[in-house]
Structure 1
Amino acid sequence: MKQQAIRIHDRYDELNRRERGRVRTRTEFVLGFMGDVGGLATLVIAEEGAREHPGGRPALEHELADCLWSVLIPTHRYNVDLERVFHRTMTELDKRIDTRLSQGDTPGT
């Protein structure tokens, strides 16, 4: 997935150079990601039946793919080993959850 994402990113750079004379900065790219997340939130709300949205399930799937692309590209541009840091972060979260669960405290006791 990452290689395909990078290929599409490089093609967008080529297109933006041709049409605008420059490529999007990393900051502009992340701001675009924020817009994608907003679009995803709208589609999730629609999927849950709380509002109408044209496009239905295919639009939700498309936006999820856009969001994934928008995560893969900054990992490339900032030279982050996403697989390594994902596993490290999930291990840290797992330990925190284990600690809290082992405390045996339940709300209201």
Structure 2
Amino acid sequence: MKEQHNAFQLMMLGLQHMLAMYAGAILVPLIVGAAIGLNAGQLTYLIAIDLFMCGAATLLQLWRNRYFGIGLPVVLGCTFTAVGPMISIGSTYGVPA
């Protein structure tokens, strides 16, 4: 019985983890890309790169050493605080900025 409870708890924690990740890893690039006028292909690329970098940052956090990493499976992503400045910079100076 205890193993079933643990499996259910793990599934719920995984779902929570996924939903929290989607807020920062999917929604932020969608908002910024749409605001600066990216087409569907460019928007897909932006989301893919964001997911890749969130994964890389998460893997770096899993390792615990003297310089980086906390040894815990945390998800790192873009904050909504940066959406306004990113839209302003992208609109003014273009995507390369």
TM-score where L is the length of structure 2:
0.32
TM-score normalized by the length of structure 1: 0.30
Larger radius of gyration: 1
